[in-house]
Amino acid sequence: MPELTYREAVRDALSSAMREDEDVFVMGEDIAEMGGSMGVTQGMLAEFGPERVRNTPISEMAIVGTGIGAAMQGMRPVVEIMYQDFLTLSMEQLVNQAAKHRTMSGGQLKVPLTIRTQGGAGWSPGAQHAQQVEAWFVHVPGLKVAFPSTPEDVRGLLWSAIYDDNPVVFFEHRLLYPLKGEVPEQLEPIPFGKARIMREGTDVTVIAIGRMVPEALQAAEEAEAEGISVEVLDPRTLLPLDEEAIIRSVQKTNRCVTAHEAVTRGGFGAELAAVVQGGAFDYLDAPVERVGAKFAPLAFAPAMEQWVVPHAADVLAAIKRTVARAA
Amino acid sequence: MNRTMAKVERKPRAAEALSDERLRELFREMLLIRRFEEKVEERFRAGELPGFLHVAIGQEAVATGVMAGLEEDDTIMSTHRAHGHTLAKGTHPNAIMAELYGKLEGCSHGYGGSMHLYDVANGMLGANAVVGGGLPQVTGTALAYQFRKQPRVCVAFFGDGATNTGVFHESLNLAQLWRVPALFVLEMNGWAESTPLHQHVPIEDLSQRAVAFGMRSIDVDGQDVEAVYAATREAREHAVSGEGPVFLNVRTYRLVGHYIGDPQVYRDKEEIEELREHKDPIELLRARLELSDDELESLDTEVTGIVEASVEFAKAGTDPDPEDALKYVYA
C-alpha cells in the first residue's frame, strides 16, 4: 500500500473529486498561489486554475455563505476556514443557514457543502489560533461533523463529506498534517457514522478524537507494559456518532476514558460519557474518565501551553484511575 | 466597466415600455398583495395565525416591478417581509396562506412559516429571518450560474437595516470582485424595525455603500412600478452580460408597523396618514392608468375572492404530525 501524509491525503481527496466532477471547487483564504496556510492545496491552482481554486477575501461569513448558495444550486463546494477559531466569524451562516435550509424549506433544499478547517495546540500560537471547537457543532441539528486522525481516514471521509448532501464541518489537526500512513491504492470512501477500533484491548476503552488518537495509542502501549490491555476507539465522525461500536466496546472492557484536545468542560467527552452510561451502565466498573484541556484560554508560553492541553501521559493517568477501581 | 469608479445613476435608461395592458396586470398583482396582506393582518388579529408576521403594505410596487423585470429561470431570496415577493414570484396565494397556517399544503410544508417561505421550483430560494443572512447565498447562487454559464440572475431583497451588517459588506464585495450575476435590491423604507435611518446610518445615500465596492448602482422610485421594472431590466441585462452585479437603491415606504400589532410609538401618526395619501403605490398606479371606479371594483372583487379562497384552502389544510418535525433534518 502506498504511504501518504495526512496533508497529502487531504489534497488527494480534493483533487480526485475535482478531476471527476466539475461541480466540485475549493475556495478560501490564501489557498491558491500560497497553497493554503498549511500547504494542503499546494499545486492545485496549477492543475485546476483560478476558477476552481479560488482565493477569497478575509470574509468568513461570505466564504461559507457563498458556499451555501452554490451548494443550493447543486454544486459541491469545499470551503476552507483557515483556522477553526475563525469559524466563530462564520457561525451565523453555518448554524442559522446551512444547517436549517433543508428543514425550513420542508425538504425542498439540500446544502451539500463541506467546510474544511484545522487547528490545534503544540506550536505556541496563543489563544486565537489553537482552539478545538468541534463540540459546538455537534449541538446543531442539520450539520455533520468529522474529525479524522489518519491519512487513510481523512482521505476517505473527506470524499464522503464532499458527496454528502448535507453541510459537513470537517476538522483536521495541524499536528497531524506531517504524519504518514498507509492508504489504499484507490481512494475508498469511508462512510460517516462508523468508528474504527485502532487497537484492541480488554481492560479499558479509550475513545479518542483528532490528535488524541495517536496520543492514546502511545498511552496504550505504555499501559500494556504495565499489564493493562487498552482498546482505542476513534469515532472518526462525531455527528453522526457510532454509538453501537462505543457501547459494544465498553460492554467488553467495562471501563472508559474519553480523550480530546478541546477543553474538558462541555466537550465532546461529555456526550460520549452520556452515551456510555446510557448503553453500558450495568457493565461499568468505574466512572467514565474524561481527558481534555484545562479550562483556560490557551496561554502563549510553551510551558503553559503544554501544561494546559492533554498528552499521552494524561490519558495513561486516566487509564490507571479507571483500572484502580475494584470491579 | 472601470474597476474602481462606479457611478450612481439617477435615471435608468428606458427599457422597453410596459403596455397599458401589462401595467393593468401589474396593478392587479399589487392589489392582490395588498388584499392578501390585509387579510393576514385580520386573521392574525383574530388569533388564527401562529408566530409573528410582517406585512409589506406600501412596498407592493417593488416586489411586483422587480419580478416583472426578471425571466422565469431567475431566482430570489427574501427577508422576514416576504409575502409580497413570494406572491409576485408566482407562488399561489393558497400555498402561502397555508404556510402561514402551518399546514402541509404550505409552500414550506409547515416547516417555515411567514419568515421562511420557500418555493424552490418557482425560483423562491427562501425568505430569511436573520437580517442580511441571505446575502452571501445570493452571491453564491449567482456564482453557480456563472460557473455553469447560465443566463440567470439571483436577486437579493433586503432593507436599509441590513446594510449595517458585516455580511452585507462581505457579500457585495465578493459579488463585485467575482462579477457574479446578482441583483441587490435595497428596499429603503427608512426603518430598521423601529429605528429611523438617521439613528442607524451616518449617511443618507446608501448607494454609496455599493459604489464603494465599484458596483453599479441605480436609484429607483419604489412607489412607481414602471420605474422599478425599467431599472430591473437594465440591471438584469448588465448582470447576465458578465459585467457584474447591480445595486438597486429603491426608495419605498412601509405604510404599516414593523410587525402586525406594532403600535408604532416611535412614529408620527400624521406622517403615516400623509404617506398613505401621497405615496401609496396602488393609488399612484390607479391614477396613472386612469382606472374607473367600476374597473377598480371589478379587480378588487376578483383578487379579494382569491384571498378569501386562500384562507378557506388553508383552514381545510392538513396539520402535520408532530413527529414530522424530524423528517428533513438531513437530506
Q: Where are the domains of chain B?
A: 8-313
pLDDT the model gives residue B3? 46
- What does the buried/exposed string (b/e) look like for B115-147 if buried means 16 or more CB atoms within 10 Å of the residue's CB? bbbbbbebbbbbbbbbbbbbbbbbbbbbbbbbb
Strand partners, A257: A206, A289
Q: Which of B98, B37, B100, B41 is nearest to B63 (CA)?
A: B37
Distance CA A77, CA B175 (A): 17
Q: Which residues contact A40 (CB under 8 A, 6 or more apart)?
A: A7, A10, A11, A14, A31, A80, A116, A118, A172, A177
Catalytic machinery residues of A: 60, 129
Residue A71's pLDDT band (boundaries 50, 70, 90)? very high
Cβ density class A12-50: b for 16+ within 10 Å, e for less: bbbbbbbeeeebbbbbbbbbbeebbbbebbbebbeebee
Q: Which of residues 4-33 of B touch A (CB under 8 A)?
A: none
Which residue in chain A has the smallest CA separation from B150? A73
Q: Distance between CA A248 and CA A275 in Å, rounded?
A: 11
Looking at residue B17, its pLDDT comes to 85
Out of B119, B130, B144, name the one closest to residue A69 (CB): B144
Which residues from chain A sit within 8 angstroms of residue B128, using beta carbons?
97
User: Which grid coordinates are listed for A114?
Assistant: 463541506
ipTM of this predicted complex? 0.96
- Domains annotated on chain A, with CATH: 3-182 (3.40.50.970), 196-322 (3.40.50.920)
How far, in Å, CA of A290 to CA of B95, rounded? 51
* A91 has a chain B CB within 8 A of its CB: no
Place of cell 481523512: A154
Q: Which helix (H) or strand (E) element contains residue A168?
A: strand A168-173
Query: Nearest-CA distance from A213 to chain B in Å?
Result: 28
At residue B107's C-alpha, the angle toward residues B103 and B108, to 5°, is 75
Which among A68, A97, A105 is the nearest to B111, CB-wise? A105
Interface membership of A94 toward B (CB under 8 Å):
no
pTM of the shown model? 0.96
Here the cell at position A85 is: 477559531
φ/ψ (deg, to 5) at B157: -105, 140
Give φ, ψ of A140 to 5 degrees: -115, 105
Query: 3-class SS at B311?
Result: helix
Sign (positive/negative) of CA torsion A14, A15, A21, A27? positive
Q: Does residue A227 sit at the B interface (CB-CB below 8 Å)?
A: no
| Chain B CB within 8 Å of residue A163 CB | no
Question: Which residues between 42 and 71 in chain A have a beta carbon less than 8 angstroms from any beta carbon of chain B?
Answer: 51, 54, 56-57, 59, 61-62, 64-71
Of A62, A107, A109, the CB nearest to B327: A107
The CATH number, out of the four listed (3.40.190.290, 3.40.50.970, 3.40.50.12780, 1.10.645.10), of the domain defined by the range B8-313:
3.40.50.970
> Is 70 exceeded by the pLDDT of residue A38?
yes
What does the pLDDT average to over A38-66? 98
| pLDDT in the model for residue B1 | 41
Distance CA A64, CA A50 (A): 18
The residues pairing with B219 across neighbouring beta strands, listed in sequence order, are B249
**B328:A110 CB<8 A:** no
Residues of B in contact with A64 (CB under 8 A): 136
> Residue B255: which of B291, B219, B218, B282 has the closest Cα?
B282
The reply to whether residue A107 touches residue B121, judged by beta carbons under 8 angstroms, is no
Average pLDDT value over all residues in chain A: 97
Q: In the numeric block, which cell numbers belong to residue A299?
A: 496561554
- Asked if A193 reaches chain B (Cβ–Cβ under 8 Å), the answer is no
Q: What pLDDT score does B14 carry?
A: 59
What is the reported pLDDT for A1?
86
Which segments within B131-285 are labelled E, that is strand?
A: 154-159, 182-188, 191-192, 195-196, 216-221, 246-251
Sequence-distant (≥ 6) Cβ neighbours of residue A141 within 8 angstroms = A99, A103, B329
Mean pLDDT of A130-159: 98
Q: Which chain A residue is nearest to residue B320, measuring alpha carbons?
A: A106
Query: What are the pLDDT digits (tens) for A8-20?
Result: 999 999 999 999 9
**Residue closest to A213 by CA, chosen among A255, A181, A183, A248:** A181
Residue in B137, B145, B177 closest to A57 by CB:
B177
Residue A109 contacts B where some CB pair is shorter than 8 Å: yes
Yes or no: say if A118 and A174 are a contact pair by the CB < 8 Å rule.
Answer: yes
Phi then psi dihedrals of residue A303, to 5 deg: -65, -40
Q: Compute the average pLDDT of residues A286-314.
A: 97
Residue B213 at interface with chain A, using a CB cutoff of 8 Å: no
Find which of A26, A75, A103, A144 to mutate to test the B interface (most B CBs within 10 Å of its CB): A103
The alpha carbon of residue A26 is apart from the nearest alpha carbon of chain B, in Å, by: 13
CB A27 within 8 A of CB B147: no
Contact yes or no for A69 and B116 at CB 8 A: no
Sequential pLDDT tens for chain B (331 residues): 444 456 677 655 556 789 999 999 999 999 999 999 999 999 999 999 999 899 999 999 999 999 999 999 999 999 999 999 999 999 999 999 999 999 999 999 999 999 999 999 999 999 999 999 999 999 999 999 999 999 999 999 999 999 999 999 999 999 999 999 999 999 999 999 999 999 999 999 999 999 999 999 999 999 999 999 999 999 999 999 999 999 999 999 999 998 998 989 999 899 899 999 999 999 999 999 999 999 999 999 999 999 999 999 999 999 999 999 999 999 9
* Mean pLDDT value across residues A159-165: 98
Of A51, A57, A96, the CB nearest to B174: A57
Residue numbers in B near A56 (CB within 8 A):
174
Rounded Cα distance, B324 and B104, in Å: 10
CB contact under 8 A, A62 and B171: yes
Closest CA to A130 of A122, A140, A139: A122
In DSSP notation, A203-269 reads: SEEEEE-TTHHHHHHHHHHHHHHTT--EEEEE-SEEES--HHHHHHHHHHHS-EEEEEEEESTTSHH
